[in-house]
Amino acid sequence: MSDPNASIIEVRTYFVRGRNALVARADFEPLYIDYYLHHADHGIQYSMEHDAMLKETLSAFTLHLASRPQDETCGWTLNFHAPLVNLFVTGSSRPGHVAGRIFTDDVRDFGKNIFISQVTRNGEAPRQSMVEFSGKDIFHTVETYYQQSEQRLARLFHQEDEDVVMISAQPDCDEAWLSSLTAEDVRLLDQKETLSLLECRSYIWDCGCSVDRLYPVLAKLSANDVNDVFGDEEIITLTCPRCGARHRAAKEHFEAWRANS
């Protein structure tokens, strides 16, 4: 169940007439506040560099979701080769939830930077794409993903405070115009171009994880392995692979759950 106190951000999408481009924009400050509250609640600490990178990934990912069909559920993994680190974000538009975390341990080494996108949609087989990228600039990385996987242009811009804008090409887009846009052009976009509001979507920071949802991971282990995990402890901590939340799991409760599953 979603947190009733979660802060809501509104993503607005516009069509740029005469340019055939889609604009998605939002003020991400409320989402970032809940992101930090989540970290405080679960004792999660990232380096300043990784924290900034994950926040940018979350903002780009949310704007991507708002530009896609509402029944898609997506996940992005940005795997960095040197040093090894994974940025992971996941979410959907119906309901509008996003979450993510950073992995620095047991990260797969591809020998290069790899962007992995996974998409599921009602009635369709899951889709996955893998794209190589360079550097640590998150917005440039997402733009590279759009060019190579989506096979269309997209541009991302920081505006005032925590306002982020993504402009993506639609059929018959004026790509020369889109490629040449600057941050100042985007700031004046509604004055220079004709924008038609298409849709407003709402998103919150929410993974939806709980100790019961993490039990299936334990349930895959043999009885001996479960005993090894708990050892002499009656309560252990399980970490959510999607958002890093830490949940206390009682052995007695888990065994009762498994007996009824």
Taking only the tens of pLDDT, the chain with its 261 residues reads: 567 788 999 999 999 999 999 999 999 999 999 999 999 999 999 999 999 999 999 999 999 999 999 999 999 999 999 899 999 999 999 999 999 999 999 999 999 999 999 999 988 899 999 999 999 999 999 999 999 999 999 999 999 889 999 999 999 999 999 999 999 999 999 999 999 999 999 999 999 999 999 999 888 888 788 888 898 888 999 999 999 999 999 989 998 998 887
Which residues, listed in sequence order, are joined to residue 127 by a DSSP beta bridge? 119
What residue type is assigned to position 117 of the chain?
Answer: S
Residues 56 and 19 in one domain: yes
CATH number of domain containing 159 = 3.55.30.10
Of the three residues 187, 205, 223, the one that is the final residue of a domain is 205
Please name which of 16, 19, 26, 31 lies closest in space to residue 156, comparing C-alpha atoms.
26
The encoded tokens of residue 196 equal: 């038609």
Does 238 lie in the same domain as 158?
no
Question: For residue 93, what are the contacts with CB-CB under 8 A and spacing of at least 6?
Answer: 65, 66, 68, 69, 70, 71, 72, 201, 203
Task: Please give the residue range of the domain that contains residue 231.
Answer: 211-260
Domain boundary residue, one of 205, 221, 252? 205
If we measure between CA atoms, which residue out of 74, 57, 62 comes closest to residue 118? 74
Is residue 179 domain-shared with residue 230, that is, in the same domain?
Answer: no
Residue 1 lies in a domain: no
Residue 58 has a pLDDT of 98
Cα–Cα distance measured from residue 227 to residue 224, given in angstroms and rounded to the nearest whole number: 5
Last residue of a domain, one of 168, 190, 205: 205
CATH classification of the domain holding 255: 3.90.1280.10
Task: Based on the fold, state whether residues 71 and 165 are members of the same structural domain.
Answer: yes
Find out whether 207 and 14 touch, Cβ atoms under 8 Å. Answer: no
For the whole prediction, is pTM greater than 0.85?
Answer: yes
Which residues, other chains included, contact 249 with Cβ-Cβ below 8 Å and sequence gap of 6+?
211, 214, 215, 218, 235, 236, 237, 238
Residues 68 and 28 in one domain: yes
Q: Which of 240, 242, 183 is nearest to 211 (CA)?
A: 240
Whether residues 178 and 226 fall in one domain:
no
110 with 227, same domain?
no
148 shares its domain with 218: no
| pLDDT at residue 2, as a whole number | 63
Of 88, 55, 56, 60, the C-alpha closest to 145 is 60
Residues 217, 90 within the same domain: no
Domain count, the chain: 2
Measured CA to CA in angstroms, residue 23 lies from 33, 117, 170 at distances of 24, 21, 10
Residue 46 in tokens: 């990232």
Question: Has residue 3 been placed in a domain?
Answer: no
